């Protein structure tokens, strides 16, 4: 993981970066720089124990700005429900 981002005061942990986001979780932040979000993007294969998709810290402002409507909706729902997953067939978020 990289160091603390400089653009925003809050960061999210991401796994991968290739849209769409497939899972978003939120937990109460532990510090002012912690947004509480973890976002898993489509290139991560959760069934592959040797998947080398990198995780990184991303400025929350940049993530929202670059993420598009699908990700923004997932972030909002995750904050309400704790975790949501995305179904690309139905183009909908759901609570697992």
Predicted confidence (pLDDT) per residue in 75-92, tens digit? 999 999 999 999 999 999
Give the separation between CA 77 and CA 88, rounded to whole angstroms. 16
Q: 81 by DSSP, 3-state: which? A: helix
pLDDT of residue 5: 45
Place 7 in a pLDDT band, splitting at 50, 70 and 90.
Answer: low
Q: How many CB atoms lie within 10 A of CB 60?
A: 23
Residues 6+ apart with CB under 8 A from 11: 4, 5, 33, 34, 35, 57, 58, 59, 60
pLDDT of residue 8: 62
pLDDT of residue 45: 87
Token couple for 19: 């849209």
Statement: residue 2 has pLDDT above 50? no
Domain spans of the chain?
11-91
pLDDT of residue 46: 81
């Amino acid at each position: 993981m990289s160091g603390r981002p400089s653009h925003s005061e809050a960061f999210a942990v991401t796994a991968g970066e290739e849209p769409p986001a497939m899972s978003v979780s939120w937990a109460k932040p532990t510090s002012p720089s912690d947004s509480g979000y973890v976002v898993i993007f489509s290139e991560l294969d959760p069934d592959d124990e040797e998947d080398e998709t990198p995780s990184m810290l991303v400025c929350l402002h940049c993530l929202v700005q670059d993420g598009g409507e699908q990700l923004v909706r997932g972030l909002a729902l995750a904050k309400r429900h704790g975790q949501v997953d995305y179904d690309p067939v139905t183009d909908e978020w759901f609570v697992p």
